[in-house]
Structure 1
Amino acid sequence: MAIHEKRFLKNYESKASEYLNDKEKASNLLKKAMKKADKKAIGDVWENLQLLFQIFGDWTSGKYRTIPVKSILMIIGGILYFVSPIDAITDFIPVAGLLDDATIIGLVFRQVSSDLTLYKEWKQKEFLQE
Structure 2
Amino acid sequence: MDKTKKIWEKAKRTATDKEQIKSTLSSAGNKLKNLAENSRELQELKSKLEILMRMIQSHLAGEYRSFPISTIVLIVFALVYFITPVDLIPDFIPALGFTDDASVVFLIARKLNRDIEKFHLWEEEQWEQAD
Which TM-score bucket, shorter chain as reference?
Answer: 0.7 to 0.9
The answer for the alignment partner of 1:51 in structure 2 is: 51
Give the Cα–Cα distance (whole angstroms) in 1 for the partners of residues 20 and 13 of structure 2.
8
- CA deviation map 1:61-96 (0-9, x unaligned): 221111121111111000000000001111111121
TM (norm. structure 2) is: 0.86
Q: TM-score, normalised by structure 1?
A: 0.86
Q: Counterpart of 2:23?
A: 28
- Please name the residue that 1:108 is paired with: 108
Q: Distance in 2 between matches of 1:62 and 1:13?
A: 24
Q: In the alignment, residue 29 of structure 2 is paired with which amino acid? A: M
User: Matched residues in 1 for 2:6 and 2:59: separation?
Assistant: 22
Distance in 2, matches of 1:80 and 1:65, equals: 21
Pair 108,11 (structure 1): closer, same or farther in 2 beyond 3 Å: farther
1:114 and 1:12, CA in 2 relative to 1: closer, same or farther beyond 3 A? farther
Report the number of matched residues: 124
CA distance in 1, matches of 2:15, 2:50: 20
2:11 to 16, 24, 38: 16
> Which AA in structure 2 matches 1:113?
N
Q: Say yes or no: does 1:40 pair with 2:35.
A: yes
Q: Distance in 2 between the 1:66 and 1:56 partners?
A: 11
- 2:83 aligned partner: 83
The structure in which a higher percent of residues are helix is 1
Q: What's the Cα RMSD here?
A: 1.8
Q: What amino acid does structure 1 have at the position aligned with 2:27? A: K
**Contact 1:23–1:61 (CA<8 Å) still a contact in 2?**
no
Q: Partner of 1:4 in structure 2? A: none
Q: Which amino acid aligns with 2:33?
A: D
Percent identical residues: 29
For 1:93, the equivalent position in structure 2 comes to 93
CA distance in 2, matches of 1:20, 1:104: 17
User: Unaligned 5+ residue runs, structure 2?
Assistant: 37-41
